[in-house]
């Protein structure tokens, strides 16, 4: 029934019977790679930071969306930027939870996430400044701009931690 040759590793010579593999810590950690979701990412600092970013972006979007607008172009730009950032952060969050980065190795995921945060943070900062300048003391627009600034700060923190982990740690480890 076999259609091709296979190599079977047993750990003993071909003359003796195959013993069952010893149970070690390494084999139990290999079982965690088979799991569908990474439960530890939910409780990690990076995971909680992404959730805080998504919540602040959602509140900013809802606050601006439910307020009377005074300047259509400024607030439509702000809404587009907040939703695009929210979708991309959700994408990277799901990618980390389901460990997609381990299966798709052709993409440099730390670099992709860093570039997303760099571009998204700049656009979100511009949108928040324009939204704050055009708010005319309307409470919903002020709240949207405030949560936009909060999301900008959280994105800067996430971008810094991404840069610190992926670039600074690698460059300092060469000189040790």
pLDDT at 173: 54
Residue 11 phi/psi, 5-degree rounding, is 90, -5
Residue 139 lies in a domain: yes
Q: Does some domain include residue 80?
A: yes
Per-residue pLDDT of 10-34, as tens digits, reads 544 445 555 555 544 444 444 455 6
Residue 81 lies in a domain: yes
Residues 48-85 have pLDDT tens digits of: 999 999 999 999 999 999 998 878 888 999 999 999 99
Domain assignment present for residue 35? The answer is no
Is residue 6 in a domain? no
Sorted by sequence, the CB contacts under 8 Å of residue 148 that are 6+ apart come out as: 57, 60, 78, 82, 124, 127, 128, 131, 132
Specify the pLDDT at position 70.
Answer: 75
Please give the residue range of the domain that contains residue 60. 45-173
Instruction: Assess if residue 12 is contained within a domain.
Output: no
Number of domains in the chain: 1
pLDDT of 170: 56
143-167: pLDDT as tens digits: 999 999 999 999 999 988 877 765 6
Using the predicted structure, report yes or no on whether residue 7 has a pLDDT greater than 80.
no
Tell me if the pTM is above 0.75: no
The verdict on residue 21 lying in a domain is no
């Amino acid at each position: 029934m076999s259609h091709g040759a296979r190599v079977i590793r047993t750990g003993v010579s071909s003359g003796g019977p195959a013993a069952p593999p010893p149970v070690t810590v390494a084999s139990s950690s290999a079982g965690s790679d088979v799991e569908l979701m990474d439960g530890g990412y939910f409780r990690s600092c990076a995971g909680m930071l992404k959730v805080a970013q998504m919540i602040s972006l959602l509140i900013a979007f809802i606050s601006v969306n439910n307020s009377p607008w005074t300047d259509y172009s400024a607030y439509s730009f702000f809404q587009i930027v907040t939703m695009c950032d929210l979708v991309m952060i959700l994408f990277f969050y799901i990618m980390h939870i389901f460990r997609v980065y381990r299966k798709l190795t052709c993409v440099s995921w730390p670099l992709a996430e860093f570039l997303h945060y760099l571009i998204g943070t700049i656009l979100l900062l511009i949108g928040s400044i324009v939204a704050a300048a055009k708010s005319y003391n309307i409470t919903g627009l002020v709240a949207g701009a405030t949560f936009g600034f909060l999301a900008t700060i959280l994105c800067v923190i996430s971008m810094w931690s991404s840069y610190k982990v992926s670039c600074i740690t690698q460059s300092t480890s060469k000189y040790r």
